[in-house]
């Protein structure tokens, strides 16, 4: 049997690399070595047929030197403790790269939401938030959407938590529906952030975006918006896949019409004017930018050799394994790392939380302007760390920026 994939170990190795490139205080490294807390819970759910099923869930709180823990909750059959720990660590570094006053956390529930009825999903969601309620709160740990979770589920979370506390606690969760204190622009925020980072990188590395060809893996909340915003910039979306199949058209696909088709039929498959493309074919397409916007570990030692894109922009968390990273580097493919590329989502989550604290709400334009400024600054900070050092790629540079900020906060708080 093959060894299970060691997600947390992979993030730890990246921290090691960055620590070596910047001569990080070893005490800071030691404080970041293990998550501060991981809560493992069992969630009993009464199913529609009268049976009881007990689901497993986790909330991992990695580090909170910069502020309350922050990070999404995913519902996935393969979510496990090690993966949740790694994703929580990515949140620590992601929040630090964009300069948010948050630590990192992540939650996961082992389930396949497609097999659950609406009522079962609601009872599971409420059960999970009850189980982790003792360790979350608007000043403690603030969950948000992630893979297979959305605004509707966030609405159940905030309701259940508020009932437990006996008062409305809108700031305990972000990614809520607008009517419950959600922010304008949260839905498209990750995709919009991906677009800003690509725009800045194109200026820094000299890539013409008008007519640039783009392949997107995943057409959910991240991939579909990234495709739309890049299309608006003049890029050509030549291929898109989802879990059911994919579509290709060398002249470009209109992502707005594709979204309507997907909403109507449940998949991007069979979109008129396109030919089918498989996931593996998409990853190997000749294009300027490949955007993995689905799950982790999609580019591996096995398939990275066939990547023909000039850039890989990680809209998903952890889509490139370290083996793939090495191969891409040797091939001269520029990789824009997840903790920078997809930080737009948590940034607008932060805006939502700020608006909840004030109970005063911003327009979509205000949200977008503030997001743009944060993403541009984050890119410039990472680019500077990259340009100043030899033998450092953008991923390690992003960790250097994050670790500098974490180390400064640890020092200021007297932890080291
Ligand atoms: N799940 C998203 C991420 O991985 C957003 C987290 C948040 O908004 O707290 O960055």
The residue whose C-alpha atom lies closest to atom 9 belonging to ligand 1 is 71
Angle between helices 223-232 and 255-265 (to 10 degrees): 150
Beta strands 69-75 and 52-63 are: unpaired
The closest alpha carbon to 402, from 94, 105, 16, belongs to 94
Cα(360) to centroid(ligand 1), Å: 22
Catalytic residue among 106, 176, 228, 310: 106
Q: What is the pLDDT of residue 3?
A: 62
Does the predicted model carry a pTM greater than 0.85?
Answer: yes
Cα(143) to centroid(ligand 1), Å: 8
Per-residue pLDDT averaged across 22-31, rounded? 96
Distance separating alpha carbons of residues 75 and 157, to the nearest angstrom? 14
Return the percentage of the chain with pLDDT > 90, whole number: 98
Q: Would residue 106 show up in a list of annotated catalytic residues for this protein?
A: yes
Measured from the Cα of 349, ligand 1's closest atom is 8
Distance between the two ends of the chain, CA-based, in angstroms? Answer: 43
CA 138 to chain centre: 21
Q: Please give the domain boundaries of the chain with CATH numbers for all domains.
A: 8-172 (3.40.50.10860), 189-332 (3.40.50.720)
Beta strands 245-248 and 275-276 are: antiparallel
DSSP annotation of 5 reads P
- Is 186 in contact with 175 (CB distance < 8 Å)? yes
Distance separating alpha carbons of residues 34 and 57, to the nearest angstrom? 19
Q: What is the pLDDT of residues 33-65, one digit of tens each?
A: 999 999 999 999 999 999 999 999 999 999 999
Cα(146) to centroid(ligand 1), Å: 6
Count of beta carbons in the 10 Å neighbourhood of residue 389: 14
Beta strands 245-248 and 213-217 are: unpaired
Per-residue pLDDT averaged across 95-108, rounded? 98
The closest alpha carbon to 14, from 3, 22, 2, 25, belongs to 22
Would you place residue 391 in the very low, low, confident or very high pLDDT band (cuts 50, 70, 90)?
A: confident
Residue with tokens 């360790």: 135
Cα(250) to centroid(ligand 1), Å: 33
DSSP annotation of 299 reads B
Distance separating alpha carbons of residues 178 and 98, to the nearest angstrom? 24
Distance separating alpha carbons of residues 259 and 14, to the nearest angstrom? 36
Q: Give the contacts of 142 (CB within 8 A, at least 6 positions apart).
A: 68, 69, 70, 102, 136, 171, 172, 173, 174, 349, 353
Sheet with 289-292: strands ordered across:
275-276, 245-248, 236-242, 213-217, 289-292, 311-313, 334-336
The residue whose C-alpha atom lies closest to atom 7 belonging to ligand 1 is 346
Q: What is the pLDDT of residues 294-330, one digit of tens each?
A: 999 999 999 999 999 999 999 999 999 999 999 999 9
Per-residue pLDDT averaged across 61-77, rounded? 98
The residue whose C-alpha atom lies closest to atom 8 belonging to ligand 1 is 346
Would you place residue 390 in the very low, low, confident or very high pLDDT band (cuts 50, 70, 90)?
A: confident
Mutate to test the pocket of ligand 1, among 67, 84, 86, 91 (most ligand atoms within 8 A of CB): 91
Distance separating alpha carbons of residues 177 and 337, to the nearest angstrom? 29
Mutate to test the pocket of ligand 1, among 349, 351, 367 (most ligand atoms within 8 A of CB): 349
User: What are 19's two structure tokens?
Assistant: 């620590």
Distance separating alpha carbons of residues 260 and 135, to the nearest angstrom? 40
Q: What is the pLDDT of residues 340-375, one digit of tens each?
A: 999 999 999 999 999 999 999 999 999 999 999 999
Q: Tell me whether residue 41 is exposed, middle or buried, using C-beta atoms within 10 angstroms of its C-beta: 0 to 12, 13 to 18, 19 or more.
A: middle
Per-residue pLDDT averaged across 155-174, rounded? 97
Q: What is the pLDDT of residue 1?
A: 42
The closest alpha carbon to 102, from 62, 135, 74, 133, belongs to 62
Q: Is the pLDDT of residue 399 over 60?
A: yes
The residue whose C-alpha atom lies closest to atom 10 belonging to ligand 1 is 346
Half-sphere exposure of 35 (CA within 13 A, CB side): 29
Residue with tokens 């998550």: 35
Cα(347) to centroid(ligand 1), Å: 8
Q: Which amino acids bring their CB within 6 angstroms of ligand 1?
A: 70-72, 94, 144, 146, 174-175, 317, 342, 345-346, 349
Q: Look at residue 277 and give its three-state secondary structure.
A: coil
Q: What is the pLDDT of residue 387?
A: 96
Helix (H) or strand (E) holding 241: strand 236-242
Beta strands 311-313 and 289-292 are: parallel
Q: Is the pLDDT of residue 2 over 70?
A: no
Distance separating alpha carbons of residues 364 and 369, to the nearest angstrom? 9
Q: Is the pLDDT of residue 200 over 90?
A: yes
Distance separating alpha carbons of residues 74 and 57, to the nearest angstrom? 10
Q: What is the pLDDT of residue 105?
A: 98
């Amino acid at each position: 049997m093959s060894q299970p994939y060691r997600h947390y170990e992979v993030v730890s190795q990246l921290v090691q690399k960055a620590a070596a490139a910047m001569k990080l205080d070893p005490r800071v490294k030691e404080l970041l070595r293990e998550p501060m807390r991981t809560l493992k819970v069992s969630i009993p759910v009464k199913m529609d047929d009268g049976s009881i099923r007990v689901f497993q869930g986790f909330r991992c709180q990695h580090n909170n030197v910069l502020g309350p823990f922050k990070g999404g909750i995913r519902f996935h059959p393969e979510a496990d403790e090690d993966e949740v720990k790694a994703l929580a660590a990515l949140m620590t570094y992601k929040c630090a790269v964009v300069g948010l006053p948050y630590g990192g956390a992540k939650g996961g529930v082992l389930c396949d939401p497609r097999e659950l009825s609406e009522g079962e999903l609601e009872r599971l969601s409420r059960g999970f938030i009850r189980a982790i309620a003792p360790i979350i709160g608007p000043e403690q740990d603030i969950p948000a959407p992630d893979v297979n979770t959305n605004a509707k589920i966030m609405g159940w979370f905030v309701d259940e938590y508020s009932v437990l506390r006996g008062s409305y606690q809108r700031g305990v969760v972000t990614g809520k529906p607008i009517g419950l204190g959600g922010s304008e622009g949260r839905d498209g925020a990750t995709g919009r952030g991906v677009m800003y980072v690509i725009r800045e990188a194109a200026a820094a590395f000299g890539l013409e975006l008008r007519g640039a060809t783009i392949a997107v893996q995943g057409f959910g909340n991240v991939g579909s918006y990234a495709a739309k915003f890049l299309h608006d910039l003049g890029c050509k979306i030549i291929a898109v896949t989802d879990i059911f199949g994919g579509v290709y058209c060398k002249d470009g696909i209109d992502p707005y019409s594709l979204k309507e088709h997907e909403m109507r039929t449940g998949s991007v498959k069979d979109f008129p004017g396109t030919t089918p493309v498989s996931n593996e074919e998409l990853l190997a397409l000749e294009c300027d930018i490949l955007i993995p916007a689905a799950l982790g570990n999609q580019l591996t030692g096995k398939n990275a050799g066939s990547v023909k894109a000039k850039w890989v922009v990680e809209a998903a968390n952890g889509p490139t394994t370290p083996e793939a990273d090495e191969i891409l580097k040797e091939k001269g493919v520029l990789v824009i790392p997840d903790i920078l590329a997809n930080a737009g989502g948590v940034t607008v989550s932060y805006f939502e939380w700020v608006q909840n604290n004030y109970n005063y709400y911003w327009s979509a334009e205000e949200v977008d302007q503030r997001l743009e400024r944060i993403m541009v600054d984050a890119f410039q900070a990472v680019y500077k760390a990259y340009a100043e050092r030899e033998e450092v790629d953008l991923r390690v540079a992003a960790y250097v920026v994050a670790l500098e900020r974490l180390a400064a906060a640890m020092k200021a708080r007297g932890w080291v």
